[in-house]
Structure 1
């Protein structure tokens, strides 16, 4: 089997200006595979699309089943990418996902079977980023009552776990700056955060789980300040309390007692090993669309299992990368919970692929179709910038 041509897609803007980026890899056996770079927002999508254009010609004529050979060719073929980084690793991720999609279709099995078989038949999920609100026409949560309402909506959809950034918006709906969030949170700010957190706990009840999400905008001191206040509300884990610097994350865990989660800004097994060695992370969150794809993330998950760190794949892309994430989480022993991101369940985003995977009573189904279990929709080709390679 050989790769004959590749299509690169940069979609038209969908909700909130996101522009998802896809690849389709074709073979001489008529089988094709799809992949995605999970960098569709945040001012980096053009760079990621350009990186795909640099890498794609290197793959023409290669055997797509030789994923290790391909991964290493792309990694070592980019002189500036040896230590990882979102643009280089995002492009590698997209191509790697496509290779696994081809492999599954070639052998007529889901990817989870190629990873050793599924260990569970469905995946517990949490509703993520509820401060943004739900659905079309949503408004940002600002008052404690808003936070109670978005939590109630999540519960009505079957979720018993939520992830919220309580530090994002002021009471008037404008965002707090990075410098409002570090190095010290004012008492008024702390009181607002606690009122919001208490409203969520009171609504969710004693048996639900709350994940704190700070998007790396607090620092070692302000995150510790917040964590010590929050721990009485029985926090499941504290995601990105600061940038993923090992010593600072270890300090926050040591001084709050709350498990720390990070990974969406880490891009290789070497970066994860450093944090695990230093006890800086208890829940790892690699993203299949930015961390080197299935080939790399499987290595990272196996390594984390040795450290007894749990795994929650970071999910912030189209339903294509959601399907890939479900495949991985079904097969790894260290899985803890799946991220259902409300930013990615908007109608235009869901229309980018042929299928969607939605929770049933707060649990995600596992794809059973060959390959990743999802494909780029034909209409996405019509509404994207498309570059043909080969």
Structure 2
């Protein structure tokens, strides 16, 4: 079997805010073969700024691997890493392109062998995957009007709505949305008292509404610095926080060292940490109680399995970071089925959006806060024909590098 061509697609998103940081522009890859089997993958740049660069990098890397055997996933990964020059440089865009291609190759391999990807990763260890409602500060549901919650009562209400759907765990960023006072809202320390009080009041309202059986994950999106992260952690400790995600940016590991010393709350990160090299120092310094590799950013399913195995060695649990199209979700479910240190699955508010859900053939959704793992060959997911027809596609093929 040989790779004959590679398509880089930008999906129609239905997002009118395409010029904003919160724009939604999923980028997929389709790897085509001479045996008629194709595989799908995703670059983890659907949000923020970077999707154009990711799609361009997929095209550049495609040139290097046309003609290779897609079943030889390690060889293809090493070829991209070592023979493209920038593959060894790493970073968000490079790793996103590598990830998309690798996921597509595992999809091909699973389809060719007639087995789901989890069988290629060691077989099923988990089936009923505990799931949490993610980013409830942006409300919860498939049809919402208000998208940023402000008052503590709103945080209590959204918690109850998620619990009514069967979730016993929610994730919230309690500091990203300013309060209604009109005062300055600086979220890097030292923090003003009204900021600290607002954060505490919001989470306390969630704890009271959810009771002691609810787990609450606190997300900082790396927007806080070390001092602010410590201040927030210390004030929230009495509210029994499940874990504390991205309390500071991961570019300086010593910032995490300082935060880890100052709080008993478990620390999590990984969305902006790439490949084994990126995670290594965090594990060696025992800074991550919960590792959160994003399959569409960390180097793909092949690389994520290695990262999860490293996490196991350091008694770190794993919550795959998921914020993309249904392709990224399907990939996450496959690896979560296989790894023994799986903790919980992330079900993002974006995953409830009808436009996002309609891009792919299967609408996998949790039931009573739990996911079942798909058993179809490969990823068990692919875009609809209508979605592909509407996508902006660039193809790289032998002798014809780019064609619309």
Question: What TM-score, normalized to structure 1?
Answer: 0.97
Partner in structure 1 of residue 218 of structure 2 = 212
Q: C-alpha displacement at 1:220, in angstroms?
A: 1.0
Aligned with 1:202 (options 203, 208, 211): 208
Question: Within 5 A, what are the aligned runs for 1:123-272?
Answer: 123-134=129-140, 135-139=142-146, 140-172=148-180, 180-244=186-250, 245-272=252-279
Q: Which moved more, 1:245-254 or 1:31-40?
A: 245-254
1: CA distance, partners of 2:214 / 2:360: 32
The CA deviation at 1:38 is 1.4
Number of equivalent positions: 388
Query: How far apart are the structure 2 equivalents of 1:208 and 1:246?
Result: 31
Shift of 1:96: 0.4
Q: 1:76/1:174 Cα in 2 relative to 1: closer, same or farther (>3 Å)?
A: farther
SS in 1 for 2:236: helix
User: Could you say which residue in structure 2 is the equivalent of 1:348?
Assistant: 355
Cα distance in 1, alignment partners of residues 183 and 64 from structure 2: 43
After superposition, the Cα gap between the structure-2 partners of 1:175 and 1:299, relative to the gap in structure 1 and judged at 3 Å, is farther
What stretches of structure 1 of length at least 5 have no aligned partner? none
Matched, 1:38 2:40: no
The CA distance in 2 between the partners of 1:358 and 1:173, in whole Å, is: 38
**1:175–1:346 distance in 2 versus 1, CA, 3 Å:** farther
Native 8 Å contact 1:26 1:32 kept in 2:
yes
> What is the distance in 1 between the residues matched to 2:239 and 2:204?
7
Could you state the TM-score of these two structures normalised by the residue count of structure 2?
0.93
Which of 296, 299, 312 does residue 292 from structure 1 map onto?
A: 299
Equivalent residues of 2:13, 2:356 under 8 A apart = no
SS of 1:340's partner is strand
| Contact residue 126 and residue 340 of structure 2 kept, 8 A | no
Q: 1:98 and 1:174 mapped to 2: Cα distance?
A: 48
Shift of 1:195: 0.8
SS at match of 1:235: coil
Aligned to 1:79: 85
Residues 301 and 332, structure 1, Cα contact 8 Å, conserved in 2: yes
Q: Which of 276, 281, 301 is the equivalent residue of 2:283?
A: 276
Taking structure 1 as reference, are residues 90 and 308 closer, same or farther at Cα in structure 2, changes over 3 Å only? same
Question: How do 1:47-126 and structure 2 match up within 5 A?
Answer: 47-126=53-132
Secondary structure of 2:242's aligned partner: strand
